[in-house]
Amino acid sequence: MFDDKVVLITGGTGTFGESFTQRLLQKYNPKKIIIFSRDEIKQWHMENRLTDPRLRFIVGDVRDKGRLTRAFDSVDFVVHAAAMKIVPKAEHDPFECVKTNIFGAMNVIDAAIDAKVSKVVSLSTDKASSPINVYGATKLVSDKVFRAANAYSGSKETIFSIVRYGNVMGSRGSVIPLFYKLKSEGKLPITDTRMTRFMISIDQGMDLVEKAFETSKGGEIFVKKVPSMKITEIAKAICPTADFTIIGIRSGEKIHEQLISSDEANNTFDCGDFYKIYPPTSKYFSLPDEVPVNPDFFYSSDSNKDWMSVEDLKRWINDNLSILKS
């Protein structure tokens, strides 16, 4: 699919961006991979780690439509991973979150259509389902903007779809690296002992993005089936003897996360190891291998049927120590 193609990744120096870049280089033979991000230091470090002549690095911000237009020239596929995503920061600086997550999404869409990009996959979040914080609300708007872009593209035929998943294990700013760094102190900060989260590996996230590129017709939201885990169990897996310090829920946080709301059930289909949420006006319902979910279905981290055990997470930690120590 990506052989001899030009792929651009916004936010390309992030956890997903760098991992997906490595997968593209190892699994395919892309003509070029463009890393588009605003942090030149991260670009410099990534360029030194991945010394491949097919890589191009462009410093730019998705808020800058002109810069995107230049970067998207001759691009075949785009992964839109750039976002302002730290929940408390978004609560404190909502104007900045809107500029990046909504206006930036609109700029990506315009640039992709003008450049006749073949497909764009936007990365979303569980926080966009029934959002209660600024980050989730802006990503919900972003998702709707990307869905609407399929009609907006007109005769140019650029296809836009969305991948929605929860906590990526080991990603920068997430709880596992935080707990790992604090475990030597013997005390770990717990927001609320009831809290649960979806757990997805970076490989599972990348698999879902590939699936979206392979099969999307326009406007679908792809949701990976993943296990849940209690925050206290995550802590026990990292430091079984640690004491908990209850610090309270941060601004904008939920006790439990949601990937699919009950309001989306009418357009949701079970596709084996993932769900697909079609837009309400979709023409692509009832494909042979897709089964509609029950009308009262919803997908929440506390009522999930699949749970990750402490031992499962310990094994993942042992296999990914290099990520946690970086």
Q: Which of 33, 30, 25 is nearest to 2 (CA)?
A: 30
Task: Decide if 119 is catalytic.
Answer: no
- Whether 145 and 124 have beta carbons less than 8 Å apart is answered as no
Q: Distance between CA atoms of 205 and 274, rounded to whole angstroms? A: 11
Q: Which of 229, 253, 211, 226 is nearest to 91 (CA)?
A: 253
Q: How many CB atoms lie within 10 A of CB 100?
A: 21
- Of the candidates 119, 127, 139, 230, the residue annotated as catalytic is 127
In degrees and rounded to multiples of 5, residue 240 shows phi and psi of -60, -25
Give, in order, the Cα–Cα distances in Å from 232 to each of 237, 245, 246, 265, 319: 9, 11, 11, 30, 21
Q: Distance between CA atoms of 67 and 36, rounded to whole angstroms? A: 10
Q: Distance between CA atoms of 155 and 284, rounded to whole angstroms? A: 19
Instruction: List, by residue number, the catalytic residues.
Output: 127
